[in-house]
Amino acid sequence: MGARGRRGNNVSHDGPDSSIVIAGRYRLERRLGRGGMGTVWQASDELLGRLVAVKELHVDGGTESKGALREARTVAQVRHSHVVVVHDVVEHDGRPHIVMELVEGGSLADRLAGDGPLGPVETARMGLDLLGALRAAHARGVLHRDVKPANVLLEAGTGRVVLTDFGIARLAGSTTISETGAFVGSPEYTSPERMQGAAAGPESDLWSLGVLLCTALTGKSPFHRDSLGGVLHAVVSAEIRPPAQAGPLAPVIRGLLERLPQRRMEAAEAERLLSAYLRTGAVPAAADRAPGPGAEAASATGAASGADGPDGPDAVVGYSPTEHVVQPSAPASRRTRPALRAGLIAALFAVAVAGAVALTSQFGERSADGARGAAPATASASGRASSSPAPAPASAAADAKPARTASAPVPRPAPAGYRTVSDAEGFSLAVPNGFQRSTDDQRVFYVSPDGAFRIGVKTSPAASEGPVTVMRLSHASGPTTNPGYRDGTVVPTTHNGLPAALWEFTWNGFTAAEGARHTFDVCWEENGRMYDVWVSAPVGRLPEARSHFDAALDSFVPGG
């Protein structure tokens, strides 16, 4: 809902015939800007004798138009000094038009392009203003969904910060994919959960604010890449490091850029920290909450690779990717697994290669595993070939790097149809009723009565290479350990805040009668041990396999 009135050469002077009058009182004078969601005009309110901004929304008539009008009227009820004032919502020629205050001044994007980055103090003040605006909107159940520098106006003369362009706002619970399949929002500023097709919540706007603060401090979005596919990968998977320019604001940025929405810093906490910084020049300790997935990952990967991560020396921000995302209709405790996220990443890259910005929310399915109680040890579910490097002894691993410790997992009751088992190998997890335990010399299996599903667990001393490298070595030797190995992928992720890797692949099974199978496999290090948990199932029964994989990972407790 752009409402800026730019001055001088920044103003576009192409406009409509001055005889066009909207709702009998708003005479359109000149076009101020045009975007994917609408066109903004400077107009004269002939009834009250004042200049206003009129945004014509680019929606078709009928149900879509009525829905946009209804949402715009809801946005108009948001009253806050840092939210653009909406004067009126009307319909003209079958299209909704939103009439709002005309803010004289440019956007934050204009300021960054012309004058360069802001300092921490100015960024903190702006962040406080925008947090207030978002909290006012969220209190009304309104999500902005496109918080970015172009939608932050800086009023000339007063310095007032105004959040505008609620044109794509929706009530809480909507997703990133519109009814027509178009992507809603700006990818560089869109939260990981929205990228993955989950329902948007207030946390999604707070992620966007965290990205905006980074952009204000550096002049460049931390997720800017040369292609849409690169942007999508950066948001969903790439390591995030707070920029050096963040200085004292780094704790706030870290908190807002938590990939797991449940761990993301809340608006009240961010306000507390920013206010304290502006009063004292220092940011106090954040409120006691679960550590973010980036704390350990940043020290581990950052120390090893420095600033030159996989996305190049200019890659800023980052926490390691999280394996979970809230589903639209699920309670907060219900999360999808890394397998689903990896499938979605593949789908997003396919979209990028095609050059499209319309996305689907379907997850690609791949197949999995290679773990069977009766199988020889060399054909392991985790795909470890006998030629793979042996795991380093626990003492050597301790010398190479400090032990990584997850926040203490909270034991969960087994889901309906499952039971919790305490295994003699030193762990506990939930397995479906009727599954029977078996072992070989390296692994433990829980196998369904018909032999179709296999849940496998392997524990070993922590490897000096780390879980991602270990999984990539397993992937490289997949054709020798799993007959018909194909579609193998290894994706860095986290498990309970610890660096981890997800390996997925399809293979032919150990016998022709067994048929094609798919494996989901997550590997991580914890307290000097490496844990490998996987599920193998027929390719035609992947929904059940995912449920078993969810239950196993969600309930897994070392030392149970």
Active site members: 146
DSSP 282: S
**Tokens standing for residue 399:** 């010398």
Q: Is the dihedral of CA 377, 383, 387, 392 positive or negative?
A: negative
Residue 330 neighbours by CB under 8 Å, 6+ apart: none
> CA-CA distance, 268 to 285, in Å (whole number)?
14
Beta carbons of 71 and 170 less than 8 angstroms apart: yes
> What distances in angstroms separate CA 362 from CA 200, 274, 382, one per listed residue?
17, 39, 27
Residues near 385 by Cβ (< 8 Å), separated by ≥ 6?
Answer: 378, 473, 474, 477, 480, 481
- DSSP, res 160: -
- Measured in degrees and rounded to the nearest 5, phi and psi for residue 295 equal -60, -55
Amino acid at 25: R
Q: Tell me the CA distances in angstroms from 264 to 92, 285, 295, 520, one per residue in order.
A: 41, 15, 13, 27
In angstroms, the CA 283 to CA 252 distance is 9
Give the integer Cα–Cα distance in Å for 497 and 290: 9
Strand runs labelled E in 367-417: none
Helices vs strands, H then E, count in the chain: 14, 22
Closest CA to 136 of 166, 103, 178: 166
User: Measured between alpha carbons, how far is 78 from 390 in angstroms, rounded to an integer?
Assistant: 61
In this structure, what token pair is assigned to residue 130?
Answer: 């925008």
Strands (E), 342-417: none
